A and B are shown apart, each in its own frame.
Chain A
Amino acid sequence: MELFDNLLLGLSTALQFNNLLYCLIGVVIGTAIGVLPGIGPIPTIALLLPFTFGLEPASSLIMLAGIFYGAQYGGSTTAILVNVPGETSSVVTCLDGHEMAKQGRAGPALAIAAISSFFAGTVATIIIAVLSLPLADLAMRFTAVEYFSLLVLGLIAAVVLAHGSVMKSLAMVFLGLLLGVIGIDVNSGAARMTFGVPSLADGLDFVPVAMGMFGLAEIIANLERPSVQRVVSQKLHDLIPSRADLKAAFPAMVRGTFLGSALGVLPGGGAALPPFSSYALEKKLAKDPSRFGKGAIEGVAGPEAANNAGAQTSFIPLLTLGIPANALMALMIGALMMQGIQPGPQVMTEQPELVWGVIASMWTGNLMLLVINLPLVGLWVSMLKIPYRLLFPAIVLFCCIGTYGISNSAFNVWLMLGCAVLGYFFIKVGVEPAPLLLGLVLGPQLEENFRRAMQLSDGDPSVFLTRPISAVLLGVVALMLIAMLSPAVLRKRKEALAE
């Protein structure tokens, strides 16, 4: 079969000694930058680009890809341990992962995050191998109309995401949408709410906002409490997830993997959408949704699987069409071009050993990550034994370096500090910042796609219902709204299903 030939060709490239070595280097660097909050894969890869000149194209791409998915592994570590999302994609992991750590279950949370990521990575590798061509085709069918409907679905799911009242989370979504309006409007080019500040022209960057609201706000809140021994001393067997943990996590892992794989292929979907959607899905499916936000292991397993799967499948448009799905993939294209490879649909046929080698290396890389990360769990957990008064200045410092590094801008550091104060206020009044962040990320895309769809259809809104994919997505939204408005109906149905 052609697929096996392709995979064999890929493995023969990926298993060459030097490629294994570069893969290892990539995932180790990736894990390290993932653990450091704010220092993301984009600046790291940009810095390393010149060093890849001398490498074989396959080796360099294997290493750079390793950095990217390695960062997804590492990013969950700080999210779980200290509630600072190391990467955008691990914001959701904070919600339940950090709760678990507070309950003294940091070990199982970290282990489950690593196992979920490995599982997702393995499945996503197979998905890429089998489905890359049809999936790329699907992605090309997504125009502004389908996008808009998908984003509406995502936002409605966000309301489901928050624990606490629907009113509060709706308010936060709208606040997020408003903040998302800041900056130069893509469709008209008009600057909105920038007050003449050039740094606001491109809108608020997600990372400083997320780090301020989650990480720093949490630190302020922690400091105000009297310094109690925050973490119960861990015994070794506590580090490993129990069989019950695994049983609870596995279905979430599977769902997260497939959801993440599907969303990762879409252009612009990037890091935020898969974990948020997976979390919302798990909460919706759970028998007892109130456990979410209080240390539910599914809330770690699902999103972690989703972000890793999404990270990998976002390579599909790049490898099959030469189209970057997000900023990071654009950087990968840069790396390819420096190697003299014109990215595009022809790469698959002209350089099969490169494409399949990179795909196969994703699996070897994931295996390495699991082997690196599981033994490290104990080490990371022992980090919690460091007195908080020593730990928090280090976290704050890394947050500042990280936010500055995003675009070498001091403005982002101030933005993060401002958001920290706002986040502290939110903790005090008891509202969840997660829906706000989703509004901030999805709002601008929602508007951009809606207006583009309208411009292209000459202002005819019926396109959203006449195009099949869009109609289905909006149908799901309608169902969700009905379910939300009548919780009794839903509960009854659930009871009926349980019997």
Chain B
Amino acid sequence: MNFRLMKAIAAVAALAAVSVPSVVRAQEFERPVRIVVPFAPGGTSDILARLISPKLSEAIGQPVVVENKPGAAGNIGADSVAKAKADGHTLLLMDIGSLAVAPSLFTDLTYDVQKDLAPVGMVMFGPYVLAVNPSVPAKTVPELVAYAKANPGKLAVANSGVGALNHITAVALARDLGIEWKNVPYKGGAAASRAVVSGESNVIINGSTATLPFVNNKQLTGIAVTGEKRMQALPEVETFKEAKLPLNDAGTWQGLLTTGNTPPETVARLNSELNKILAMPEIQEKIAEQGGMVRPGAPDDVKAWLDTNIKNWGGIVTASGIKPN
């Protein structure tokens, strides 16, 4: 009756309040858009952001600025996006693998990965290459496992930092293969690659851009790669799946996100622009040069990926006791 009518009016009003401004807003970017890259310039995320920004700017008719906010394993930059105005004008481009492990790695995380950030879309996937210094007498996975079992403590896996995805991958591999190797942390992937080429450490699991040139030059021996298919550049190196290794989807997953609670229409607009950009042949070419492949898709794909991997990767972090704090 009266009460019911009021409720209906309230519901309509609420609906109007929610939908009207967002319909108006959905098509409009009224100020410059920022893409926050939470790492120093020069890395994969930074290069991708600088590739995408001019195209995105053309599409939305506003300047798109790349802003590097490095620090705390990407958390400072991610936090700044999480706390920005929820209108889709502040974007975050990063390896979402770092986001997936952040909740289990950092107990005092200042933002909630699943609530305070809204996925826009996946940008690219770059497979990992598992490679060894040529002083290790192994060319295939069984040979490597046999060597590790015969020479406990001789293998040292360089990773790009405690809690980095390649660290977690190495820990999980050792656990599943029943082998023991040292995990040696470095400041970033480039330093880790250098150390394995020089023989300071002797195993590396890292993105293909950092490892391929050395494998081609015989300074590293390729053992296996992640991803669905073998790599075009390394046709003789089998995939993790073929070698019956776990974690075939380990690698760099670069994703675009924005502030949580951004109106879904705005997110949808950003997603469709992103997918249009990822369909451009020149962009695909440049991304292939980064050792990756474009991964167009819906925002929900990223959300599902994050939900799964916060559980999977996070579980490994908790189980293995990798924990900075």
B248 at the interface (CB under 8 A from A): no
Q: Is A408 in the interface zone, CB < 8 Å from B?
A: yes
Quote the shortest CB–CB distance from B285 to chain A (angstroms): 8
A458 CB–B CB distance under 8 Å: yes
A456 and B184 contact, CB distance less than 8 A: yes
The residues in B between 166 and 218 inclusive whose CB is less than 8 angstroms from any CB of A are: 182, 184-187, 190-191, 193-195, 197-201, 209, 212-214, 216-217
Q: Are B200 and A143 in contact (CB under 8 A)?
A: yes
For residue A388, give the distance in angstroms from its CB to the closest CB of chain B. Answer: 35
**In the assembled complex, which residues on chain B have CB atoms less than 8 Å from the CB atom of A178?**
none
Using known A-B contacts A50-B50, A456-B156, determine if residue A342 contacts B289 with beta carbons closer than 8 Å: yes
- Cα–Cα, bound, A234→B46 (Å): 48
Choose among B70, B190, B200, B212 the residue that contacts A342 (Cβ–Cβ < 8 A): B212
Q: Counting CB contacts under 8 A, is A421 at the interface?
A: no
Chain A, residues 39-57, CB within 8 Å of chain B (1/0): the string is: 0001101100110000000
Asked if B135 is at the interface of the complex by the 8 Å CB criterion, the answer is no
| Residue contact A45 to B41, C-beta cutoff 8 Å | yes
Interface string of B16-44 (1 = CB under 8 A from A): 00000000000000000000000011110
Chain A residues contacting B54 (CB-CB under 8 Å) are 50
CB-contact partner of B163 in A142, A189, A340, under 8 A: A189
B276 touches A (CB below 8 Å): no
Query: Contact string, A415-442, partner B, CB cutoff 8 A, digits 1/0?
Result: 0000000000000000000000000000
Q: Is the CB of B67 within 8 A of A408?
A: yes
A52 to B285, CA, bound (A): 17
CB-CB nearest in chain A for B201: A456
- Shortest A369–chain B CB gap in Å is 24
Are A344 and B162 neighbours in the complex by a CB distance under 8 Å? no
| B50 and A143 within 8 A (CB) | no
Cβ of A190 under 8 Å from chain B = yes
Report chain B residues within 8 Å CB of A191: 324-325
Q: Is residue B286 contacting chain A, with contact meaning CB distance below 8 A?
A: yes
Q: How far is the CB of A20 from chain B (nearest CB, A)?
A: 26
Bound Cα distance A322, B46 (Å): 19
Contact at A142–B198, with CB atoms within 8 Å?
Answer: yes
Tell me which residues across on chain B come within 8 A of A142, comparing CB atoms. Answer: 198
Q: A345 near B209 (CB under 8 angstroms)?
A: no
Q: Which of A30-38, A65-73, A196-204, A291-299 contacts B (4 or more CB under 8 A)?
A: A196-204
Binds A, one of B73-81, B87-95, B141-149, B259-267: B73-81
Among residues of B, the one whose C-beta sits closest to the C-beta of A328 is: B42
Q: Once the chains bind, are B209 and A337 in contact (CB under 8 Å)? A: yes
The contact string, 1 if C-beta is below 8 Å from chain B, for chain A 180-195, is 0000111111110000
Check B67–A198 contact: CB distance below 8 A.
no
Do A408 and B216 touch (CB < 8 A)? no
Query: Known interface pairs A189-B161, A199-B76, A345-B214. Does A330 touch B43 (Cβ–Cβ under 8 Å)?
Result: yes
Q: Which residues of A contact B69 (CB under 8 A)?
A: 407-409
CA distance A200 to B67 in the complex (A): 19
Whether B47 pairs with A334 at a CB distance below 8 angstroms is yes
Tell me whether A104 is interfacial, beta carbon within 8 Å.
Answer: no
Interface residues contributed by chain A, number (CB under 8 Å): 52
Complex Cα gap A202–B325 (Å): 14
Whether, in the assembled complex, B58 has its beta carbon less than 8 Å from a beta carbon of chain A, the answer is: no
Does any Cβ of B come within 8 Å of A245's Cβ?
no
B40 to chain A, nearest CB (A): 6
B68 at interface, CB cutoff 8 A: yes
User: Across the interface, which residues of B come within 8 angstroms of A196, CB to CB?
Assistant: 108
Q: Quick check: B185 and A198 within 8 Å, CB to CB?
A: no
* Residues of A contacting B195 in the complex (Cβ-Cβ under 8 angstroms): 143
The answer to whether A186 touches B187 (Cβ under 8 A) is yes
**CB–CB A407/B43 < 8 A:** no
Q: How far is the CB of A107 from chain B (nearest CB, A)?
A: 37
B contact residues around A333 at 8 Å (CB): 42, 190
- In the complex, A49→B40 CA distance in Å? 14
User: Chain B residue with minimal CB distance to A332?
Assistant: B42
Q: Which residues of A contact B161 (CB under 8 A)?
A: 186, 189
Interface residue A455 (Cβ < 8 Å from any Cβ of B): yes
A144 CA to B217 CA, complexed, in Å: 24
In contact, A324 and B75 (Cβ under 8 angstroms): no
- With contacts A50-B53, A323-B194 known, is A202 near B42, CB below 8 A? no
Q: A43-B41, A46-B46, A337-B289 are in contact. Are A343 and B68 (CB under 8 A)?
A: no
B42 contacts A198, CB within 8 Å?
A: no
Which residue in B72, B162, B198, B209 is a CB contact (below 8 Å) of A143? B198
The answer to whether residues A186 and B194 also contact, given A49-B41, A338-B47 and a CB cut-off of 8 A, is: no
Is A346 touching B213 in the complex (CB atoms < 8 A)? yes
- Of the candidates B153, B213, B324, the one whose C-beta lies within 8 Å of that of A458 is B153
Q: Do B213 and A322 touch (CB < 8 A)?
A: yes
* Interface membership of B315, Cβ < 8 A: no
Residues of A within 8 A of B156 (CB): 455-456
**Are the C-beta atoms of A340 and B289 separated by less than 8 Å?**
yes
> Which 10 pairs between the two chains have the least Cβ-Cβ distance?
A344-B213, A189-B162, A189-B324, A46-B41, A201-B72, A331-B42, A334-B42, A143-B200, A330-B42, A140-B198
Ordered by A's residue number, 6 sampled pairs between the chains whose C-beta atoms are within 8 Å are A184-B72, A199-B76, A330-B190, A346-B217, A452-B184, A456-B201
Q: A191-B325, A342-B212, A407-B68 are in contact. List 6 more A-B contacts (CB 8 A).
A: A185-B324, A201-B75, A267-B191, A337-B209, A345-B219, A407-B71
